[in-house]
Structure 1
Amino acid sequence: MALASPIVELRQYTLKPGRRETLIEIFDTEFIENQEDAGMTIIGQFRDLDRPDMFVWMRGFDSMDARKDALGA
């Protein structure tokens, strides 16, 4: 069983009207695998139901050094 990531980033994006689903599609097809390959854990992604132009996602790291290395990759 994998342990929870001790370092967590919450990332929020406010998008141009009507563009959220386009970003989510790009995120799903282009970003997730590359970030996981670099050592990041994609914890989740969320649509803000009250703000249709907001996209929120979280990623985790084993440590701040692992974060630095993963972002550099």
Structure 2
Amino acid sequence: MSSDVCPVTCCPVVELRQYTLHPGKRDVLIDLFDREFVETQEAVGMKVIGQFRELGHPNHFVWLRGFRDMTSRAKA
């Protein structure tokens, strides 16, 4: 997603996703997420607003996804 797009204007519906992973698998998930998931979800109306590694919690992965409305969210 372009850094000049405001989440409020692109995505008034925001979902916070938090995952607890098996030890040592966070980078594996992030690689898979970036390679396989983002493009397919954006094709059906979802925008990745951000993804985060939690400092001090190597088995956690957090990301935000946004939608233009609840109908778009249901379709994704």
TM-score of the two chains, using structure 2 as the length reference:
0.86
CA apart distance, 1:21: 0.2
Aligned length: 70
| 1:24 maps onto 2:40 in alignment | no
Q: What is the CA–CA distance in structure 2 between the aligned matches of 1:66 and 1:53, rounded to whole Å?
A: 30
Report the identity percentage: 54
| 1:61 maps onto 2:61 in alignment | no
| 1:33 maps onto 2:57 in alignment | no
Q: What is the CA–CA distance in structure 2 between the aligned matches of 1:4 and 1:32, rounded to whole Å?
A: 16
Partner residue in 1 for 2:48: 42
Q: In structure 1, what residue type is equivalent to 2:39?
A: E
Identify unmatched segments of 5+ residues in structure 2.
Answer: none
1:14-69 per-position Cα deviation (integer Å, ceiling 9, x unaligned): 00000000000000000000010011011010000120000000100011111112
CA apart distance, 1:10: 0.4
TM-score of the two chains, using structure 1 as the length reference:
0.89
Q: What is the CA–CA distance in structure 2 between the aligned matches of 1:25 and 1:39, rounded to whole Å?
A: 21
Q: What is the CA–CA distance in structure 1 between the aligned matches of 2:73 and 2:21, rounded to whole Å?
A: 26
Identify unmatched segments of 5+ residues in structure 1.
Answer: none
